[in-house]
A and B are shown apart, each in its own frame.
Chain A
Amino acid sequence: MRAPSGSEIAVGNVLLSVENVSLSFGGVKAVSNVSFDIRKGEIRAIIGPNGAGKTSMLNIINGFYQPQEGQITFKGETRAKMRPYDAANGGIARTFQNVALFRGMTALDNIMAGRTLKMRRNFFWQLLRHGPALAEEIEHRHRVEEIIDFLKIQEIRRTPVGRLPYGLQKRVELGRALAMEPDLLLLDEPMAGMNLEEKEDMSRYILDVNDHYGTTIALIEHDMGVVMDLSDRVVVLDHGIKIADGKPDEVKRDQGVIDAYLGVAH
């Protein structure tokens, strides 16, 4: 990018903490009594086998699900109820496991959509597209172009995303989340369904985002190799229960984690 960001990443202060959170759907306990925290500037991974409650956890942080028990503190504010809109406004952006872009719109328009919450002029001003509204749009477009440059997707700027290969769609989705200039970026299986080269590219971009913008990232991932290389700290869930929490190396050696992933001999 053009201007080197001056932000030295100081990993330290807790940005978000989850305390004793439980969530159940009817009789099914998706998450039970889980606590962990995410510190500013780190890459935090949430891993676990299928059905461990990873996506539920992400949806709780995001305000999409309301936990029955426990509380969440974000930027020092403890909240009881939160809607996705508030989460987005508060600086939480996310991507989805199954790409959720506007397929008929171009990559550029999709990323512009990520700026919606930053628009100060109302709908009618935008319709007029004149004076202050135009100036504002130019400013937003500039930010979006910086992201396009950052993610090296110039050549697909004008391509409807439905026509793009999966790996690029994922990158556009990341771009849209970045356009929100989030404090916390939630990535739901960013490498799912990718080939090795695409995975390596995506890893590179995640590290770059963290390094360049200083964005705190929480990611859910299946692929252990990727997680261990990328993240600073890892939470491991199994059947909705937290079974380990720590640095990748520690987690890798943890007997509970090995059992959860490989199964236990009975």
Chain B
Amino acid sequence: MAPNSAAAADTFTKLLIRNANLFGVRPAMRQKDLGIWQTWTWSDLLEIVRAYAVGLNRLGLKRGETIAIVGANRPKLYWSVMAAQMLGAVPVPVYADAVADELAFVLAHAEVRFAAVEDQEQVDKIISVKEHLPKLEEMVYDEPRGLRDYDHSRLHPIDEIIAEGRKALADPAVAAWLDGEIAAGKGTDPSIILYTSGTTGTSKGVVLTNERSIKAATDTVLFDKLTETDVALAYLPLAWVGDHYLNYAQGLVAGFCTACPESTDTAMQDLREIGPSFYFAPPRTLEQLLTRVMIRMEDAGALKRKLFHYFIGVARRYGEKILNGESVPLNGRLLYALGNLLVYGPLKNVLGFSRVRVAYTAGEAIGPDLFNFYRSIGLNLKQLYGQTEAFLYLTAQPDGEIYSDTVGPACPNVDIRIAENGEVLFKSPGMFAGYFKDDTKTAEVMTPDGYVKTGDAGFFDEKTGHLKIIDRAKDVGRVNDGTLFPPKYIENKLKFYPNIREAVAYGDRRDFVAVMINIDLTAVGSWAERNNVVYASYQELAGHPLVYDIIEKNVAEVNRSLAQDKMLSGAQIKRFLILHKELDADDGELTRTQKVRRSFIADRYAPLVKALYDGSKEADVATEVTFEDGRKGTIRARVKIRDMQTEPVPAAMGEAA
């Protein structure tokens, strides 16, 4: 009944009121504080947010103005979003780990007069760029620690703002005024501005409206049958469309409980304690989890290790089929049940997956083995595809129709079209209203008949009817001999190996494909320990000849798999090198959502790219790096390059048969 009545509410504030009436004493939010989980019910939440809204208004926040939200997933920051929306103001969340310049850009572009921030770190960051932010007037903060000696004339604890609002609300006139403000909120009002992570150039502010956001969230809540009894852990960046959609919007629409981790570092333990029923993780997180499990299994006793590998084998054979409700022989079912008792159950418990009913992954292509692993142990992991401009969902896999290489059919009420050049276009209920203060860019991504261009290339699979995404439309290139070159496809194949954390492929308008590789310090470090390989730094480990040998094996396997595909066999990797430093978002090499910025990396490591193609055996490179405290330094290295054997094209085989 929840989702149906959501249609009546056209703003998030009205949804909050509906939830307080409907689910009053049910938990709306949880956070662990001083080691104990604290709970706020929907009624608590409404009372707090009303007081907070009045407090912010007394500070000067008015309808139509913007307020920046900077920090991790903490209840008080979510309340800041709610309180701003209650006043008809527009929250602008910013990534907590954004460096000062990025923060300054967003805050200046969004013209914020107010900022709600997490702690001293964020306050310091904003103060350090305040000359670029002439409009910024007041800041409120969650965590008082370290801020005692700061000038508090324009800096206030959130608790104090809420307390003041509560006092003011005792006056019936103020309460009536607030009710009027809530009633004045319209579905067409912007509800939030989400800045894109900027895979291509500077970030753009995506304006979403109340009504469209609620419509989109209502569709998916029905699709996955989410209710007020579900629980989610909000551990992904607050400023990311995923968190805002999955936890905030869906939480309000379905009335489920959103739990906030105690701190960013405790998310894994909190996951286990909370036992969410709805879970989202980008492929990268799933990969890290699996790597960690595998490493710990390597260190386990012989019996445990044997048991683990045997039952994982069983799961690979039957698990997926059982989850999809297909027919499985009786002995398979029995073995799987035993495995569940001995291995999968405890494993899922350790990972915090015991109660997960619906799990999604998205953001990047996921390796088939990785995807199947989680499904085989009984986690209902599915894929979705979407983007900020669509307010996340465009396609999602329905239960029972799961394939590792598709992202599912179009969601309810979403209209998808493939353009001539292979680009995916869409019209959806959650569609954005435009880029903030940028009509030119808005016009650029719209087709004349009102579709939005995603910038991704893809096609509908004939067999399944699901959408398949291959790469960014503008990134798909061709090697000089005419072979198709989808860089991300190749990089993802490499990245599936636990030893490889990141890969950057080059090949467009070149004679052959060459890649730069980042090793995974956890996996390779553990391998080094077991094999008595001594190293003092990441750089030394990355340049070790034995490390080159193990990576060469992985590259050879990728070549073998590329050779299987007629269209891509010419895109086999001819040369590779291992980078001497980890690619890092602070150096601009990755986006904040950890996607590689290929052309930026090509410029930055120009001598290496040149060496990959001129046949040299090694090359020198010096790169400037930014440390966490903002200082800069230079790393110099001599990087070796390896040549690869390529596989013969098996095309003849098919003809002979």
Task: Give the contacts of B35-49 with A (CB-CB under 8 A).
Answer: 35-36
Residues of A within 8 Å of B36, CB to CB, are 145
Selected interface stretch from A62-70, A150-158, A216-224, A258-266: A150-158
B119-159 Cβ-contact flags toward A at 8 Å (1 or 0): 00000000000000000000000001110110000000000
User: Are B148 and A157 in contact, with the CB atoms below 8 A?
Assistant: no
- A29 and B224 alpha carbons, distance in the complex (Å): 78
Interface SS majority for chain A: helix
User: Are A145 and B34 in contact, with the CB atoms below 8 A?
Assistant: yes
User: Are B148 and A149 in contact, with the CB atoms below 8 A?
Assistant: no
Min Cβ gap A196→B in Å is: 10
Min Cβ gap A126→B in Å is: 20
A199 contacts B by Cβ under 8 Å: no
- A150 and B145 alpha carbons, distance in the complex (Å): 8
User: Are B266 and A155 in contact, with the CB atoms below 8 A?
Assistant: yes
- A4 and B144 alpha carbons, distance in the complex (Å): 8
B413 contacts A by Cβ under 8 Å: no
B269 contacts A by Cβ under 8 Å: yes
B265 contacts A by Cβ under 8 Å: yes
User: Are B263 and A154 in contact, with the CB atoms below 8 A?
Assistant: yes
- A50 and B262 alpha carbons, distance in the complex (Å): 43
User: Are A155 and B145 in contact, with the CB atoms below 8 A?
Assistant: no
A46 contacts B by Cβ under 8 Å: no
User: Are A154 and B262 in contact, with the CB atoms below 8 A?
Assistant: yes
Task: Give the contacts of A146-181 with B (CB-CB under 8 A).
Answer: 146, 148-150, 152, 154-155, 157-158
Contact of A142 among B34, B146, B148, B628 (CB under 8 A): B34
- A155 and B269 alpha carbons, distance in the complex (Å): 8
User: Are A141 and B35 in contact, with the CB atoms below 8 A?
Assistant: yes
Contact of B148 among A4, A141, A145, A158 (CB under 8 A): A4
Min Cβ gap A185→B in Å is: 19
> Across the two chains, which residue of chain B brings its CB closest to A144?
B35
Task: Give the contacts of A1-40 with B (CB-CB under 8 A).
Answer: 1-2, 4
> Across the two chains, which residue of chain A brings its CB closest to B267?
A155
User: Are A149 and B34 in contact, with the CB atoms below 8 A?
Assistant: yes
Min Cβ gap A110→B in Å is: 15
> Across the two chains, which residue of chain A brings its CB closest to B263?
A154
User: Are B35 and A145 in contact, with the CB atoms below 8 A?
Assistant: yes
Residues of B within 8 Å of A139, CB to CB, are none
Residues of A within 8 Å of B265, CB to CB, are 154-155
> Across the two chains, which residue of chain B brings its CB closest to A207?
B146
> Across the two chains, which residue of chain B brings its CB closest to A5?
B148
> Across the two chains, which residue of chain B brings its CB closest to A152?
B263
User: Are B145 and A211 in contact, with the CB atoms below 8 A?
Assistant: no
Q: Say which size band chain A's interface belongs to.
A: 20 to 34
User: Are A154 and B266 in contact, with the CB atoms below 8 A?
Assistant: yes
B588-632 Cβ-contact flags toward A at 8 Å (1 or 0): 000000000000000000000000000000000000000011000
A208 contacts B by Cβ under 8 Å: yes
Residues of A within 8 Å of B262, CB to CB, are 154
Min Cβ gap B235→A in Å is: 13
Min Cβ gap A76→B in Å is: 30
Residues of B within 8 Å of A200, CB to CB, are 629
Residues of A within 8 Å of B148, CB to CB, are 4, 211-212
User: Are A146 and B34 in contact, with the CB atoms below 8 A?
Assistant: yes
A106-150 Cβ-contact flags toward B at 8 Å (1 or 0): 000000000000000000000000000000000001100110111
Task: Give the contacts of A171-230 with B (CB-CB under 8 A).
Answer: 197, 200, 208, 211-212
Contact of A208 among B34, B146, B263 (CB under 8 A): B146
- A42 and B342 alpha carbons, distance in the complex (Å): 57
Q: Say which size band chain B's interface belongs to.
A: 10 to 19
- A50 and B628 alpha carbons, distance in the complex (Å): 33
- A142 and B32 alpha carbons, distance in the complex (Å): 13
- A164 and B34 alpha carbons, distance in the complex (Å): 21
- A208 and B145 alpha carbons, distance in the complex (Å): 9
User: Are A157 and B35 in contact, with the CB atoms below 8 A?
Assistant: yes
Residues of A within 8 Å of B266, CB to CB, are 154-155
User: Are A155 and B263 in contact, with the CB atoms below 8 A?
Assistant: yes
User: Are B263 and A1 in contact, with the CB atoms below 8 A?
Assistant: no
Residues of A within 8 Å of B144, CB to CB, are 1-2, 4
User: Are B35 and A1 in contact, with the CB atoms below 8 A?
Assistant: no
- A200 and B629 alpha carbons, distance in the complex (Å): 11
Given the known interface contacts A1-B145, A208-B146, A211-B148, the answer about A148 and B263 at a Cβ–Cβ threshold of 8 Å is no
Min Cβ gap A210→B in Å is: 12
Residues of B within 8 Å of A152, CB to CB, are 263
Contact of B35 among A4, A148, A150 (CB under 8 A): A148
Min Cβ gap A205→B in Å is: 11
Residues of B within 8 Å of A142, CB to CB, are 34
- A158 and B149 alpha carbons, distance in the complex (Å): 34
Residue among B36, B145, B265 with most chain A CB within 10 A: B145
Min Cβ gap A141→B in Å is: 7
Residues of B within 8 Å of A150, CB to CB, are 145
Task: Give the contacts of A249-264 with B (CB-CB under 8 A).
Answer: none
> Across the two chains, which residue of chain A brings its CB closest to B265?
A155
- A152 and B629 alpha carbons, distance in the complex (Å): 18
Residues of A within 8 Å of B269, CB to CB, are 155, 158
- A228 and B484 alpha carbons, distance in the complex (Å): 62
> Across the two chains, which residue of chain A brings its CB closest to B143?
A1
B259-302 Cβ-contact flags toward A at 8 Å (1 or 0): 00011011001000000000000000000000000000000000
Residues of B within 8 Å of A211, CB to CB, are 148-149
Min Cβ gap A159→B in Å is: 10
> Across the two chains, which residue of chain B brings its CB closest to A150?
B145
B227-267 Cβ-contact flags toward A at 8 Å (1 or 0): 00000000000000000000000000000000000110110
- A155 and B629 alpha carbons, distance in the complex (Å): 23
Min Cβ gap A44→B in Å is: 21
Min Cβ gap B271→A in Å is: 12
Min Cβ gap A130→B in Å is: 20
Min Cβ gap B1→A in Å is: 38
Min Cβ gap B542→A in Å is: 19
B23-37 Cβ-contact flags toward A at 8 Å (1 or 0): 000000000101110
Min Cβ gap A255→B in Å is: 33
- A148 and B32 alpha carbons, distance in the complex (Å): 13
- A141 and B36 alpha carbons, distance in the complex (Å): 11
Residues of A within 8 Å of B149, CB to CB, are 211
- A265 and B497 alpha carbons, distance in the complex (Å): 60
Residue among A141, A149, A200, A208 with most chain B CB within 10 A: A149
- A75 and B629 alpha carbons, distance in the complex (Å): 41
Min Cβ gap B642→A in Å is: 32
- A254 and B512 alpha carbons, distance in the complex (Å): 66
B620-657 Cβ-contact flags toward A at 8 Å (1 or 0): 00000000110000000000000000000000000000
- A66 and B507 alpha carbons, distance in the complex (Å): 76
Min Cβ gap A143→B in Å is: 10
- A195 and B89 alpha carbons, distance in the complex (Å): 46
- A61 and B45 alpha carbons, distance in the complex (Å): 53
> Across the two chains, which residue of chain A brings its CB closest to B144?
A4
Residues of A within 8 Å of B145, CB to CB, are 1, 150, 208, 212
Residues of A within 8 Å of B628, CB to CB, are 197
> Across the two chains, which residue of chain A brings its CB closest to B149?
A211
> Across the two chains, which residue of chain B brings its CB closest to A149?
B34
Residues of B within 8 Å of A158, CB to CB, are 269
Min Cβ gap B144→A in Å is: 6
Min Cβ gap B34→A in Å is: 4
Min Cβ gap A158→B in Å is: 8
Min Cβ gap B651→A in Å is: 53
Min Cβ gap B118→A in Å is: 13
List 6 additional contacts besides A154-B32, A158-B269, A212-B145; criterion CB under 8 Å: A145-B36, A148-B34, A150-B145, A200-B629, A211-B148, A212-B148
11 inter-chain pairs at a CB distance below 8 angstroms, sorted by A residue, are A1-B144, A1-B145, A2-B34, A4-B144, A145-B36, A148-B34, A150-B145, A154-B32, A155-B269, A158-B269, A200-B629
Question: Can you list the 8 inter-chain pairs with the closest CB atoms, starting with the nearest?
Answer: A145-B34, A155-B265, A145-B35, A155-B266, A154-B262, A154-B266, A154-B263, A4-B148
